Structure 1
Amino acid sequence: MTQETTIQTTTIFQPVQLGPITLRNPVIKAATSEGRSPEGKVTQALIDFHRGFIEGGIAMTTLAYCSISKAGFAAPGEILMVKENTSGLKRFTAAMHEAGGKASAQLGHAGPVATKKITGVQPIAPSRFFNLTSMQTCRAITIPEMKEIINQFADAAEVAIEAGFDAIELHFGHLYLVSSFFSPWINKRTDEYGGSIENRTRFAKEILLAVKERVQDQLAIIVKLSMDDGIKGSIWLDDSTETARILDETGAVDAFELTMGSSVSNQMYLFRGETDIDGMANTQKGIMKLGVKWFGRQILGEYPYEDLYMLSSARQFQTVVKKAKLILLGGINSFDDMATAVREGFPLFAMGRALLREPDIINKIKVNPSKLGLCIHCNKCMFSVFTTTNCVFTKDYAISSQAALV
């Protein structure tokens, strides 16, 4: 390792301020729904899964996905972020702190991504909407229901404080409920929540302000925001940059984690790399399984993998976001990628699949900056969220109990 490389490594892995907290370095474990909470509660397996990332060198791990209500689940085995689960959540944060890192909780409502099979109720969207992936019709949400959901977000944020989380991530991406309001493809409302981008951002802004009022400066607030979703007539940069500007002007956002794609359609626009049709088909049964085999490629899409594939879009937010920091996501797989992110003006970056493959990749890179990540972006981990999220090339190292901790 040359002296120049050593200086670069030392410079990049310095502490970073994120709102009221200090991270030991710029690396955040991105949210990847874990499937280790069969009762909606924290399990030892979930704790061990995340502790592995902290011990592997990252600064903060994101507990995902934490639904604000039972109707907001997106997949099996997710966390229900309510007061009754505070004890287990405290054990989670204590373990992350003991390992030397910090913990963030991703809060969200799946909206049109949800299915009645998982939640027991008909999914909701800004307007009546048919989700071709789930083959379910979503009903239009009412304004009283929106007010209730705003309060549920604030309640969930309060639970996060009580449980000792250092940050929360508001999931305003991937055409989950809040994100679907941004999309003219889904949002056909004619009231104050539809039409102009200011109106389509209103629900997100109300949630953000309610959460900020509840948490004040007790933890950092991250907003996960879709830059574009690759769907004709849906979200694109001209609208999403305006959404970011509106939310940033409130002063309530400490950082935006910039993402793309959706969980409703064209899913590979987010993931990039191999489109695993067999993996998707195996999560379905009967006619749905055949449908995926026949039409899955058209629904999921196909996009080649490139390092830093979200960078060019993320640059567009640097001129409109004045108060919050920007977190770069997408195709960060080596020290060179991290160095590029910092050099391009992104003080923080998030990693997902690379960490599933190698939970200790950061420690390895600190020792050998020329090391390349082992993730080959086969995306076979993509569908493991329906069981237990893991990389197929490594055994599930979180083999401890999945019994709920109370």
Structure 2
Amino acid sequence: MTAPALFEPARLGPLTLRNRFIKAATFEGMTKGALVSDELIEFHRRHAAGGVAMTTVAYCAVAPEGRTERHQIWMRPEALPGLRRLTEAVHAEGAAVSAQIGHAGPVADGRSNGVPSLGPSASFSAQGLARIRQAGRNDIERITRAHAEAALIAVEAGFDAVEIHLGHNYFASSFLSPKVNRRTDEFGGALTNRAKVARNAACAVREAVGDRIAILAKLNMDDGVPGGFWLDESLQVAQWLQDDGSVDALELTAGSSLLNPMYLFRGEAPLTEFAQAMRNPAVRLGIRLVGKRFLRSYPYEEAYLLDSARQFRAALDLPLVLLGGVSRRETAERAMAEGFQFVAMARALLREPDLVNRMEQDPDVQSLCIHCNKCMPTIFSGTRCVIAAGSGPRSAS
């Protein structure tokens, strides 16, 4: 079978995208007051002009306590005017735009948000230096409805897709994890119970928006921690999502923002830069003293999630998006040859927003990204590559 062409139109649910490249979600740090800024619009317009088929706005919380910090967007009527300006700017460049929606759960900063974070079980947040409250049935039902309401706001704002966040030990992902979820009720124990939050959220979104927009889900293949969510269980959840008919595609990810964030990113952990970026002196000191235990370094290699993702490709009919170490045209072509429908890129596009256009013009173009990960701490001041001159705004958020 001939591999699909990278630069020809491709279907994603009800959408036709102009090529196979998606700008992956990277929290932009450009939403002061939890609203869209001119800097955020320009950030996504620049990536759209650079050639991606679709850019992903991250992170759009479905509830105020679901933000990782208080300046993140949460989907509400007040955000609509700015969101409309953003989608119009992206569409003017010929690209589609997706809203990553979800609830940060135990990853949320309760101190910043002014309300306790929620998780499957009560615990303490080392990042936020505050307690995490166990979510009750009413919380779970409210957050499920909030996913549907957020998706409807996305439709009203002109988004072409939503990406439901089911990874990184955010709310739904934390319920999936047997390490984080210690419940003994209907939402704990067996995988069928732990998967209810993720499946119900996706079904609620599908019921709300139908096929008016594409629905993707970002699903952890594994958490990267002993006793956490692992491939065998993730494959079963992916199969259930496919059987439910709730999503049009899965973007496969890994790692835990709660317990092991560098497992997703690979490469060096920029401990010095993270410590300098922290506003809370206690957190800053903690990173300097014990940061190596939390921010571990992993060797970087191209397509580092491909081996795990192959198991999902073999087991599913759903379109799949390959994420993780895609920075060369040959890597994207390899993904197409192995049956993946799309590739998602992040750090390489922060360095060179026009990389996709340049790849199309010259197959031998090499990404300039060195995977130093020093872009990661810039989420607190405007996400950008710190090496590339003029790569993005530096206004505080």
Determine helix, strand or coil for the equivalent of 2:133.
strand
**Larger RCO: 1 or 2 (CA < 8 Å, sep 6+):** 1
Gaps of 5+ in 1: 1-6
Match of 2:241 in 1: 247
Q: How far is 1:400 from its partner?
A: 10
Distance 1:53 1:189, change over 3 A: same
* Residues 109-188 of structure 1 mapped to structure 2, 5 A cutoff: 109-188=103-182
Corresponding residue for residue 75 of structure 2? 81
The SS at the match of 1:14 is: coil
Assess if the C-alpha contact under 8 Å between 2:384 and 2:392 holds in 1.
Answer: no
User: 2:312 aligned with 1:307, yes or no?
Assistant: no
State the partner residue of 1:27.
21
AA in 2 matched with 1:138: I
Amino acid at match of 2:145: N
Alignment of 1:191 with 2:185, yes or no, is: yes
Letter in 1 for 2:289: W
1:225 aligns with 2:225: no
- CA 1:187–1:396: 2 relative to 1, 3 Å: farther
**Residue in 1 that maps onto 2:287:** 292
The farther-off stretch of 125-134 and 33-42 is 125-134
Match of 1:379, SS?
coil
Structure 2 unaligned regions, length at least 5 = none
Segments ≥4 residues shifted beyond 6 Å: 400-403
In 1, distance between residues paired with 2:7 and 2:223? 31
Q: Show the counterpart of 1:318.
A: 313
Aligned residues of 1:76 and 1:387 also touching (Cα < 8 A): no
Q: Distance in 2 between matches of 1:320 and 1:335?
A: 26
- For residues 194-229 of structure 1, what are the alpha-carbon distances to aligned partners after superposition, in whole Å with 9 as ceiling and x for unaligned? 111111111111111111111000000000001011
| Aligned Cα root-mean-square deviation (Å) | 1.8
The reply to whether residue 369 of structure 1 matches residue 363 of structure 2 is yes
Are 1:350 and 2:336 counterparts? Answer: no
Give runs of aligned pairs for residues 56-95 of structure 1, distance below 5 A. 56-75=50-69, 77-95=71-89
Report if the CA contact (8 A) 1:44-1:400 is conserved: no
- Whether contact under 8 Å (2:351, 2:387) holds in the other structure is yes
* Paired position in structure 2 for 1:102: 96
Superposed CA deviations along residues 249-308 of structure 1, whole A, max 9, x for unmatched, are: 011210000000111122111110111110121133433322211211111112010000
Taking the aligned partners of 1:65 and 1:178, their CA distance within structure 2 comes to 15
Shift of 1:86: 1.3
- Is 1:201 the counterpart of 2:195? The answer is yes
1:254-265 matches, within 5 Å, as 254-265=248-259
Aligned partners of 1:108 and 1:171 also within 8 Å:
yes
Structure-2 change in CA distance of 1:402 and 1:188 (3 Å): closer
Secondary structure, aligned partner of 1:221: strand
168-177 or 111-120, larger mean C-alpha shift = 111-120
> In 2, Cα distance between the equivalents of 1:351 and 1:376?
14
Distance 2:231 2:208 in 1: 31
C-alpha distance in structure 2 between counterparts of 1:229 and 1:294, whole Å: 24
Question: Cα distance 1:335–1:329, how it changes in 2: closer, same or farther (>3 A)?
Answer: same
Partner of 1:4: none
Which 10-residue stretch deviates more, 115-124 or 102-111?
115-124
Given that 2:350 and 2:391 are in contact with CA atoms closer than 8 Å, whether structure 1 keeps it comes out as no
Counterpart contact for 2:122–2:131, Cα < 8 Å:
yes
> Matched residues, percent identical?
45
Q: 1:90 to 1:287 in 2, by over 3 A?
A: closer
Shift of 1:22: 0.4
Question: Counterpart amino acid of 1:294?
Answer: L
2:382–2:392 CA contact under 8 A, matched in 1: no
Match of 1:335 among 315, 318, 329: 329
CA contact (8 A) 1:47 1:92 kept: yes
Aligned: 1:49 with 2:37: no
Q: State the Cα deviation string for residues 146-167 of structure 1 (Å, max 9, x = none).
A: 1111111111000011111100
In the alignment, the residues of structure 2 paired with residue 320 and residue 205 of structure 1 have an alpha-carbon distance, to the nearest angstrom, of: 18
Q: Contact conserved, 1:42 with 1:89, CA < 8 A, in 2?
A: yes
Q: Partner of 1:288: helix, strand, or coil? A: helix
* CA deviations over 1:283-334 (Å, ceiling 9, x no partner): 3343332221121111111201000000001111123322x21000000011
Closer, same or farther: CA 401–125 of 1 in aligned 2, 3 Å: closer
* Shift of residue 132, structure 1, vs aligned partner: 3.2
Give the structure-2-normalised TM-score. Answer: 0.96
Which amino acid in 2 is paired with 1:40? A
Measured in 1, the distance between the counterparts of 2:179 and 2:105 equals: 15
CA contact (8 A) 2:382 2:396 kept: no
1:11 is paired with a residue whose SS is coil
